[in-house]
Homo-oligomer: A and B are copies of this chain.
Amino acid sequence: MIIILKAQASDADLAALVEEIRRRGYQSHISRGVERTIVGCVGAPEEDKDLLVDHFASFPQVENVVRVLKPYKIVNREFHPEPSCVRIGNVPVGGPGLAVMAGPCSVEDRDQILEVARAVKAAGATILRGGAFKPSTSPYSFQGLGEDGLKLLAEAREATGLPIITEVMDTRDVEQVARYADCLQVGTRNMTNFSLLKELGDLRTPVMLKRGMSSTVEEWLQAAEYIAARGNYQIILCERGIRTFEPQTRNTFDVSAIPTCKELSHLPVVADPSHATGRRSLVPAVAKAAVAAGADGLMIEVHACPERALKDGPQALTPAAFAAFMADLRPLAAACGKALAG
């Protein structure tokens, strides 16, 4: 931690700061420049650092406090240089293959989910997605089928052999969702629902953590650290776009976040071009971009009849469009050294 003093800080201010560092049991290094004095604070344990940054920043003659180390450890690549691989059912995410999660935004009824599950499997998807608990901006919109939806997902897994991933929104539902799902998804609106993250940290089921739409990469990795800190290391990151001023897309897909996360963390990274763009015509191009940037997988919405979908129809591909996309993706994935199933 580096503490930069204001120009007008006196020798007494400096001495008080150094004494405070000593009193807490850490070491200080003083560096006097022409216009500023800088104090390094060495030896504080990780769990105290957030507090210390605030603490020193509250001293009246301190201009700025700079953290030297990253505020996450277990998910930090520095301490775990090999990339992690997480298994959803029997499907590895993070290895040499490309995981493709596909399915409808919401589970609506048995026919719908079975039809889509079969269609995406035939096209090469390896994991089935589908929402039973849906976060809706409006209280008057469809909120999902709840446990009935989970049962239908499990039935679709039986029918196709595809493992399933589905969202959980409430701490009280975690146990129930974990009984059905092969992977629990934290949606963008709950990335900073820390109670939920802790609850998921107590499981040993994989968790896919979507980036908060206004979260920095560092905050996202800290959210992953919340889960890991409780002992659940089966974590997959999912880039799904951030909020910007551009109205052409629902969110702005931050493709640079994929190689950035790979540098900073060992966790696998998946991309969701459907929610990022909100427009089906853009999904194939953005999905391919994600793969070219190094994504370990894709999550894509597919609906047999998008204009009848109860949620997010404009971004869903038809089964035929999804199959065409997968055919198109195959040579690109190969050129990126990633194998597609099927």
Contacting residues, chain B, for A242 (C-beta < 8 A): 244-246, 252
Whether a CB of chain B sits under 8 angstroms from the CB of A15 is no
Does the CB pair B138–A71 fall under 8 Å?
Answer: yes
A2-B2, A42-B34 given; A58·B313 CB < 8 A: yes
Taking CB atoms, residues of chain B closer than 8 Å to A159 are none
Contact present for A139 and B309 (CB under 8 Å)? no
Stretch touching chain B among A93-101, A113-121, A291-299 = A291-299
Q: If A225-B138, A248-B256, A335-B335 touch, does A309 touch B58 (CB 8 Å cutoff)?
A: yes
Minimum distance in angstroms from A184 CB to a CB of chain B = 15
Produce 1/0 per residue, A5-31, CB < 8 A to B: 001000000000000000000000101
Taking a contact as CB atoms under 8 Å apart, the answer to whether B68 and A38 are in contact is yes
| Smallest CB gap from A28: residue in B | B31
Does chain B have a CB within 8 A of A322? no
CB distance from A262 to the nearest CB of B (A): 8
Q: Mark A59-97, 1 if CB is under 8 A from B, else 0.
A: 100000010110110000010000000000000000000
CA distance A194 to B258 in the complex (A): 29
Within 8 A of B (CB), among A259-298: 259-260, 263, 276-277, 281-282, 285-286, 288-294
- Quick check: which of A122-130, A150-158, A202-210, A213-221 contacts chain B, the rest being far away? A213-221
Interchain CA distance A32-B40 in the complex, whole Å:
9
Set B4, B69, B307, B309: member contacting A35, Cβ < 8 A: B69
Q: Is A222 an interface residue (CB 8 A)?
A: yes
Please determine whether B259 and A254 come into contact, CB atoms closer than 8 angstroms.
no
CA distance A311 to B225 in the complex (A): 19
Produce 1/0 per residue, A293-318, CB < 8 A to B.
11000000000001111111110100
- Partner of A171 from the list B35, B170, B257 (CB cut-off 8 Å) is B170
Instruction: Check A55 for interface membership: any CB of B closer than 8 A.
Output: yes
Report A86 CB to chain B, min CB distance, Å: 19
- Closest B residue by C-beta to A33: B42
Minimum CB–CB distance for A71 against chain B, Å: 5
CB of B292 within 8 A of CB of A332, answer yes
CB distance from A214 to the nearest CB of B (A): 3
Question: Taking CB as reference atom, which chain B residue is nearest A20?
Answer: B307
> Among the interface residues A218, A258, A307, which one has the most CB atoms of the partner chain B within 10 A?
A307
Taking the closest CB of chain B, its distance from the CB of A201, in whole angstroms, is: 8
Is A110's beta carbon under 8 Å from chain B? no
A33 and B40 in contact, given A137-B222, A288-B293, A306-B58 (Cβ under 8 angstroms): yes
A192 within 8 A of B: yes
CA of A310 to CA of B58, assembled, Å: 11
Is A238 engaged at the interface, CB distance under 8 Å to the other chain?
Answer: no
Whether A336 sits at the interface, judged by CB under 8 Å, is: yes
CA distance A56 to B33 in the complex (A): 18
| Nearest chain B CB to A250 CB, angstrom units | 10
Interface centre among A72, A218, A246, A277 (most CB of B within 10 A): A246
Contacts of A141 in B (CB 8 A): 47, 50-51
In the A-B complex, list the 7 residue pairs whose CB atoms are closest, starting with the nearest.
A214-B214, A189-B192, A292-B292, A58-B307, A170-B195, A259-B285, A289-B289
